[in-house]
Structure 1
């Protein structure tokens, strides 16, 4: 007879696998993602991996698929999520014949899996909040805690969530050649219009659209105040995430500064949508 604790563990593990598939399966079927890992420099891969674990730790603190006890429990959740993402990636890519353990060099094998594990592990650690980990009482407690003015801690937590939302959507399209192609075809006027559109979408999402779990904006705060405190910092985060993704995937190599700026602006649009709708994603 399986006890309740063991049952909860396996349910949590199953949710983690489901979250890993939900967040990473489209990228596993993207040809560009298969070649990025093996061709990336050690610096680029190191930057991606060193970014992954702090993100997983922060997300585990917010919505881990187990109930962590202190910092140690949160760290365990983060590492378990990474392991689940790694194993899920290995299984799916092997089934798709992208990986061949018998013929592929070990370095290439690890490179392909490592790059795909990033979105998979993020999906695994978010499995609880997306797939039923939070209860109604949790939402009620969070709503009560969110009443009133935003504290500094809550404000930076919201910026962190924006960064994850931006990374999630940017990671989906950043490896594709279309980002560079679109940027090459655009003029400076197109770039300005894309930036304006990104800001308008972000501000509309932040100030008007009420996603589940999104912090309510105090009534005494004007649209201008929200624009300065959330929209502008959120868009800056989206652009930084976009530039980091482009650099990590080698899209900025041997590229002129103006072309890098334009590509960052293009990728900044989906990143901005991800940042502003992060509570829907997360």
Structure 2
């Protein structure tokens, strides 16, 4: 009986890890397109036949990807398993898209059903592809344990810890700049900031922190075990997530000022709302940057 209970716990743990990996991959691939108002407009006005074609094409691509990779550690052998995982992939893509569009107040209780479905289906395409590709491009690499043991055996541990902290901050800033650079000069940021109230901005902040933590520490992507063993000024998972988010916010604010989206004459509330809106993609980019080192 204890063996069966432990087996069930392991199954649930593996399932949860697969789901977190898929959702994290969806955000890494899909978050930039969520800041494109043209996609909102096209989706909201699309007719049911076009929406059906979009779903069918996305499912076909996801099905082919799940034959070789997918978001699970195991590769599907039977067509039935691939089909079920493909349905789950589309569901995860729709779930991620729904959460973000609700946070952005692009979908509310007053949004017509057809408009909401159109936005969700069109925006969920890159999210679903990101879920399907998460295990292929971002899976944990073997040898992390050996590398971490070698790192701990090196001399001058304090200097090494400081270098690791600086490298993480630099990687976060670089990744945040790469993603935020193409979004900061667009009209989507002021539009979203104008329609998002204080409680939703707080929810967006919490979501950004959770996504960053999931990508780096919970999704079993590359070097995750090595990152958990790092020690330094901000090297435990909680403090690293918070500090990296603050770095991403600084990057977002700098990009907004650089492109003159906000100016020094604007009130602090404008700076705050715009920065938090751009902070989500900057945070995702920063998490991707930390995965790369």
TM-score bracket for the superposition, by shorter chain length: 0.3 to 0.5
TM-score normalized with structure 2 length: 0.44
